[in-house]
C-alpha cells in the first residue's frame, strides 16, 4: 500500500510577515504534509518567504480573488494526485496543530468534507463582532435549510477534503466570497460532511480582506448565489474514499 | 396619471428581464458579480411600474407633468448607462490582465526553450 499523500493549501495575499510561521507550523505538525502556498499576486515578499520556508509556491500572474486562488490549490492537488487536502488561511488565524483533528473523519472514511467549525459545540471562545456573528448565523441557517443538513459554520476557511472533495472543488468553486456557496454545492453533490470544533486566532499582521464597504456586496452576492445554486441540479458524487 | 396599460406593460417587461437574468445565472452563462446590476435594474423598474403613486410623485419632483411614464424611460436609460460604464471598467481590467498573461507566457516559453 502506498502512503496517503496530503497537501496543505494556503492562499495568501501580502502576508510576508506571517507566512513563514504558518508554513513552519504546518510542517511541524507532520513532515508528511506538503505545503502549497497560493500567492494571489502579492506586492510584497510573500512568495519568496514561503519558498524559503520549504513551501511550493504557486504565483498567480494577477489578483484573482480568494476563491480563484484556493481553486488553484485544488487543481494542483488534483493534478499531483493527492489523496487529501487541507485548506487553511495564510494569515495565521487557523491553528495548524488542529489539522490531524480535521483529517480524522476523512481518514476513518466517514466524511468527504470536514469543516473546521467555530460553533460545532455551541458557544466557542471565538466571538466575532456582532454584525459578523449575525451574518455567520444567517448563512449557516440558510445553507442548513437548503441542504437539509445541520451546518454550524459555512464561512470557515479551515476545511479538509478527500479525493472526491478535491475533484469537486477543482472543477467547481465560486470566485469571490466562496465558502458559503461551496458548502452548499458540496452538500448538494452528495458529499458526506463532518464538522469539527476549532479555535480561530486573532490576526497578527496584515489586514482582513473584508472591509465594511464590501460587506453589502458580500451579503447580496452570497444570497443570490445560494438562491441560484438551489435551483441548479448537481450530479451526485459517491463517497469512494475508503 | 400613468395609463394603466403602461403600468402593466412595464411590470411584464421588468419581470421578463428578471427571469432572463436569473436563468442566465442558473445556466452559468452569467456570473453573479455581473448579474447584480441587471437585477437592480429589473427590481427598480418593477417597483416603479407597479407602484403608480411613486412614479407620479417622482414625475412631479422632476417636473414631468404631462406623461409620468417618461420617468420610467429615464430611469431605465440611467441604469443602462451604469451597466455600460461598469462593463467598460471590466473590459479595461480584462485587457490589462490579458497583457500580463501574454507577458508571463513569453517569459515561460523562453525559460522552457533554454532547458531544451
Residue A213 has what pLDDT? Answer: 72
Computed from CA positions of residues A30, A34, A40, A45, in that sequence, does the dihedral angle turn out positive or negative? positive
Alpha carbons B68 and B46: distance in angstroms, whole number: 15
Give counts: helices (H), strands (E), chain A. 8, 7
Average pLDDT value for residue range A22-30: 95
List of domains in chain A: 6-231 (3.90.550.10)
Alpha carbons B89 and B83: distance in angstroms, whole number: 10
Task: Say if the Cβ atoms of A232 and B26 lie within 8 Å.
Answer: yes
CB-CB contact of A85 with A166 (8 Å): yes
**How many interchain CB pairs under 8 A, A with B?**
28
Residue A121 has what pLDDT? Answer: 74
Task: Say if the Cβ atoms of B26 and A225 lie within 8 Å.
Answer: no
For the record, the C-alpha cell of B57 comes out as 410623485
- Nearest of A194, A109, A204 to residue A156 by alpha carbon: A194
Indicate the SS3 state at residue A59: strand
Alpha carbons A132 and A136: distance in angstroms, whole number: 6
This model of the complex carries an ipTM of: 0.80
Residue A241 has what pLDDT? Answer: 42
CB-CB contact of A16 with A42 (8 Å): yes
Higher local confidence (pLDDT), B14 or A176: B14
Q: A191 CA to chain B: closest CA distance, Å?
A: 21
Indicate the SS3 state at residue A182: helix
pLDDT digits (tens, 9 = 90+) for B11-29: 999 999 999 999 999 999 9
Task: Say if the Cβ atoms of A228 and B39 lie within 8 Å.
Answer: no
Give me the residue spans of the domains in chain B. Answer: 4-115
Q: How confident is the model at residue B115 (pLDDT cuts 50, 70, 90)?
A: confident
Residue A225 has pLDDT above 80, yes or no: yes
Q: Which residues of B touch A63 (CB under 8 A)?
A: none
B101 touches chain A (CB under 8 A): yes
Task: Say if the Cβ atoms of A221 and B100 lie within 8 Å.
Answer: no
Amino acid at each position: 500500500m502506498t502512503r496517503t499523500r496530503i497537501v496543505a493549501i494556503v492562499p495568501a495575499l501580502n502576508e510576508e510577515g506571517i507566512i513563514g510561521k504558518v508554513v513552519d507550523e504546518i510542517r511541524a505538525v507532520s513532515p508528511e504534509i506538503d505545503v502549497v502556498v497560493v500567492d494571489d499576486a502579492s506586492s510584497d515578499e510573500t512568495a519568496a518567504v514561503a519558498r524559503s520556508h520549504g513551501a511550493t509556491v504557486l504565483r498567480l500572474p494577477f489578483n484573482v480573488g480568494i476563491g480563484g486562488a484556493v481553486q488553484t490549490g485544488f487543481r494542483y492537488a488534483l493534478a499531483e494526485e493527492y489523496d487529501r487536502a487541507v485548506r487553511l488561511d495564510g494569515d495565521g488565524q487557523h491553528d495548524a496543530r488542529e489539522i490531524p483533528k480535521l483529517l480524522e473523519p476523512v481518514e476513518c472514511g466517514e466524511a468527504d468534507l470536514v469543516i473546521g467549525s467555530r460553533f460545532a459545540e455551541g458557544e466557542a471562545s471565538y466571538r466575532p463582532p456582532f454584525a459578523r456573528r449575525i451574518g455567520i448565523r444567517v448563512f449557516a441557517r440558510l445553507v442548513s435549510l437548503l441542504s437539509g443538513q445541520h451546518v454550524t459554520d459555512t464561512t470557515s476557511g479551515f476545511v479538509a477534503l478527500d479525493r472526491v472533495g478535491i475533484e469537486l472543488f477543482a472543477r467547481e468553486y465560486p470566485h469571490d466570497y466562496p465558502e458559503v456557496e461551496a458548502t452548499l454545492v458540496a452538500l448538494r453533490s452528495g458529499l458526506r460532511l463532518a464538522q469539527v470544533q476549532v479555535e480561530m486566532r486573532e490576526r497578527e499582521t496584515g489586514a482582513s480582506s473584508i472591509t465594511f464597504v464590501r460587506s453589502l456586496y458580500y451579503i447580496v452576492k452570497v444570497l443570490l448565489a445560494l438562491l441560484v445554486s438551489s435551483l441548479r441540479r448537481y450530479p451526485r458524487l459517491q463517497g469512494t474514499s475508503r | 396619471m400613468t395609463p394603466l396599460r403602461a403600468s402593466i406593460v412595464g411590470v411584464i417587461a421588468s419581470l421578463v428581464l428578471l427571469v432572463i437574468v436569473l436563468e442566465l445565472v442558473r445556466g452559468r452563462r452569467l456570473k453573479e458579480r455581473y448579474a447584480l446590476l441587471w437585477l437592480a435594474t429589473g427590481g427598480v423598474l418593477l417597483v416603479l411600474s407597479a407602484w403608480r403613486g411613486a412614479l407620479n410623485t417622482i414625475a412631479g419632483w422632476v417636473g414631468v407633468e404631462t406623461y409620468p411614464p417618461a420617468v420610467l424611460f429615464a430611469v431605465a436609460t440611467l441604469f443602462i448607462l451604469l451597466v455600460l460604464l461598469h462593463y467598460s471598467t471590466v473590459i479595461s481590467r480584462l485587457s490589462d490582465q490579458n497583457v500580463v498573461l501574454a507577458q508571463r507566457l513569453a517569459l515561460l516559453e523562453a525559460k522552457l526553450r533554454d532547458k531544451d
